[in-house]
C-alpha cells in the first residue's frame, strides 16, 4: 500500500478490525518512511450478477431494489433489520447458483421464499403483485396453499 503522504510503498498494519457494516475489514496503517497514519478498507469484490427481465432486457442485480419490494409488502409488519437480512439471503441464494445471470422469475421466487418465513401477510401482499392476482379466487387459492403448508398452531 502506497502512503498517501510520501508515496513510499512501505507501511505496517497498526490495527485491524471489521468495519461497522461488517462487509469490510478496516485497517489502520503507519508509513515506515514518514510515520503518517492512514486507514484502508478491504472488501470482497464479487462478480457482477445480472437479472434477465421478462422482456429480455438485462439489468444489474440491485439488493436495494429487492429490499424496497420486500419493505413495501411488509409495511408495518416486519422489522427493517429482518428485511435487510432476508434481502441479503436472497442475494446469497442467487449467487450460490453459480451463474452470472438469473431470471427475474428466480429473484421473485427467492423473495417469496424469504417473505413466507418472515410474515404470511407480507408474503400474500408480494405474491398478489408478483403472481398478478386477478380476483379474489387467486387470493383464496394462495391462502389455501399457505394453510396446507403451515404447521398447526399450538394452544
Q: What is the pLDDT along the chain (155 residues), one digit of tens a residue?
A: 899 999 999 999 999 999 876 778 999 999 999 999 999 999 887 789 999 998 999 999 999 999 999 999 999 999 999 999 999 999 999 999 999 999 999 999 999 999 989 998 998 888 888 777 788 887 778 787 777 765 545 54
Q: How many helices (H) and strands (E) does the chain have?
A: 5, 6
128-131, long-range: CB < 8 A, 24+ apart: 129/73
Predicted TM-score of the model (pTM): 0.65
Amino acid at each position: 500500500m502506497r502512503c498517501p503522504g510520501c508515496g513510499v510503498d512501505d507501511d505496517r498494519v497498526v490495527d485491524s478490525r471489521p468495519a461497522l457494516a461488517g462487509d469490510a475489514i478496516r485497517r489502520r496503517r503507519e508509513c515506515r518512511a514518514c510515520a503518517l497514519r492512514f486507514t484502508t478498507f478491504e472488501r470482497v469484490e464479487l462478480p457482477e450478477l445480472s437479472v434477465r427481465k421478462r422482456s429480455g432486457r438485462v439489468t444489474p442485480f440491485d439488493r436495494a431494489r429487492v429490499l424496497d419490494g420486500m419493505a413495501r409488502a411488509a409495511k408495518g409488519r416486519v422489522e427493517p433489520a429482518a428485511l435487510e437480512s432476508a434481502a441479503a439471503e436472497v442475494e446469497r441464494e442467487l449467487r450460490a447458483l453459480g451463474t452470472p445471470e438469473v431470471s427475474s422469475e428466480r429473484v421473485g421466487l427467492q423473495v417469496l421464499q424469504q417473505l413466507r418465513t418472515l410474515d404470511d401477510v407480507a408474503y400474500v401482499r408480494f405474491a398478489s403483485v408478483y403472481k398478478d392476482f386477478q380476483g379474489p379466487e387467486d387470493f383464496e387459492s394462495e391462502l389455501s396453499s399457505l394453510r396446507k403448508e403451515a404447521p398447526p398452531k399450538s394452544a
